[in-house]
Amino acid sequence: MLLKKRKLPQGIAIAAQSPEFWRRLVPDLTISESGPRRMLPRRPDTGADRMRLVNDGFLHLAQPGLGDALPDIAAGMRRIVAAGLPSAFVGVYDEVWDMLAGLDGVLDGLFDGKAALVPNFWASHGAPGTGAQRRRGGGGVFADGTPKNLTIWLPVTDATPANGCVYVVPAGQDRNYGSTARADASLPGIRALTAQAGDVLIWTGEIYHWQGRVDRHADASPLLALTWEFQSRDTAPLEQTLIDSFPHVPFETRLAILAGQMPRHRAEFAGQPVWRAVQQTLANRYPMPAMRQSA
């Protein structure tokens, strides 16, 4: 079941700027100035992974070895929500970005060494369902089908049809793949992307996808998930900048990313007008870092 929304605590716009506030809130997670602690090596079958993306539009990496911190991240998200804060603020902690950094070798292979982190991160607690869409329809793949941009979706808890897993129409089943139009496919072609906590789902900006609603009659724990976006450096930035420091993402940059994303998730803040002050305070204090200029 979904937790009821609570009012944001007074003073959060100021408190959120302090690493110590977040350390006290979730003592089992960390905030430091050090870079990522470990990264997975480049997968030996990168060519096969790229071909799956070309043929299917998505990729499911089963237990790639990122799951050590998942219980602490899940517990942290629950503590954050219980405190009346958006679950996405788990993004202030090292462990979240350490897991993403662990995929650096994988992404390097999928983008042929030209992966760039787009400042689009969010963490969800519960699945209210999302409308079917193509995130970057008409601009998600190159002419050969390789990705211009990718969504990275990591379930922190198991994703099932009962608690709101993601559904996709595979590229090979979608006659409108590569356009902005809705999918043209038969119902049997739809794929439910059930996943265990710690799996990684990756899909192109062209894939037609949606997230199911929680089954109200099912005794299922809320689905917790993390989402990022990457693009090829061979294409223009999808947002105003790219995070050139990746795989290291400093605390200040994490706050800048969250401030930039909050307006896109207004539904989560319904009835909580203080969120606007939080967002504006963080956005003014922590502007998005400028991109490095190409030589």
Q: Where do the DSSP E strands lie in the chain?
A: 58-61, 115-125, 130-134, 149-155, 166-169, 191-193, 200-204, 208-211, 224-232
Please indicate, yes or no, if residue 292 is contained in any of the structural domains. Answer: no
Please indicate, yes or no, if residue 147 is contained in any of the structural domains. Answer: yes
pLDDT tens digit at each of 295 positions of the chain: 444 445 555 688 889 999 999 999 999 999 998 777 666 655 657 788 999 999 999 999 999 988 789 999 999 999 999 988 889 999 999 999 999 999 988 999 999 999 999 999 999 998 676 789 999 999 999 999 999 999 999 999 999 999 999 999 999 999 999 999 999 998 899 999 999 999 999 999 999 999 988 877 766 688 999 999 999 999 999 998 999 999 999 999 999 999 999 888 776 766 667 777 888 888 899 988 876 655 4
Please indicate, yes or no, if residue 291 is contained in any of the structural domains. Answer: no
Please indicate, yes or no, if residue 207 is contained in any of the structural domains. Answer: yes
For residue 68, give its domain range: 12-285
Alpha helices, H only, the chain: 12-15, 19-25, 46-56, 70-82, 94-101, 104-110, 251-261, 274-285
- How many CB atoms are closer than 10 A to CB 277? 12
Quote the tokens at residue 203: 């899909």
Please indicate, yes or no, if residue 1 is contained in any of the structural domains. Answer: no
3 state SS of 238 = coil
Say which CATH number the domain at 260 has: 2.60.120.620
Note the pTM of the prediction, 2 decimals. 0.90
Please indicate, yes or no, if residue 3 is contained in any of the structural domains. Answer: no
Backbone angles phi, psi at 156, to 5 degrees: -85, -25
Please indicate, yes or no, if residue 290 is contained in any of the structural domains. Answer: no
Please indicate, yes or no, if residue 6 is contained in any of the structural domains. Answer: no
Total domain count, the chain: 1
Burial of 65 (0-12, 13-18, 19+ CB in 10 A): exposed
